[in-house]
């Protein structure tokens, strides 16, 4: 929705690094959220980027380029429990809309 694009599915190996990309329409843009959602559960907040650059939180990092309308979520040292959907969402003023999510499968 709202021109937020991310890949539908990705597969990565346990212990590896994976980057999930997200592009969005820049008009009226305030910030960019990333969420993790396990099957059958509610989304949980991972990060919110307002300024350009990389923000690191443990094994997860999120990057934003406002001028390019581009963000990515970087997951390091992948664990089996990281198998989930990763949702990108853009805030335009107080309105927060989501992409369709990227389903990540971590394999041994």
Name residues contacting other proteins, limited to 41-80 (CB under 8 A).
41-45, 48, 50
Torsion of CA 95, 61, 21, 28, to 10 degrees: 30
Would you count residue 96 as binding other proteins (CB under 8 A)?
yes
DSSP assignment of 62-101, as one string? Answer: EEEETTTTEEEEEE-S--GGG-EEEEEEEEETTEEEE---
State which residue, 23 or 80, has the beta carbon closest to other proteins.
23
Nearer to other proteins by C-beta: 56 or 77?
A: 56
- Cβ closest to other proteins, residue 74 vs residue 96: 96
Residue 3 near other proteins by CB under 8 A: no
């Amino acid at each position: 929705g709202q021109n937020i694009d991310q890949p539908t599915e990705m597969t990565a190996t346990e212990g590896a690094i994976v980057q999930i990309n997200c592009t969005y329409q820049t008009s009226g843009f305030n910030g960019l959220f990333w969420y993790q959602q396990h099957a059958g559960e509610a989304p949980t907040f991972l990060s919110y980027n307002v300024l350009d650059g990389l923000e690191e939180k443990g094994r997860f990092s999120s990057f934003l380029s406002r001028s390019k309308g581009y963000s990515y979520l970087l997951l390091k040292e992948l664990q089996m429990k990281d198998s989930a959907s990763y949702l990108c969402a853009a805030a335009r003023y107080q309105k927060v809309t989501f992409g369709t999510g990227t389903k990540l499968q971590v394999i041994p």
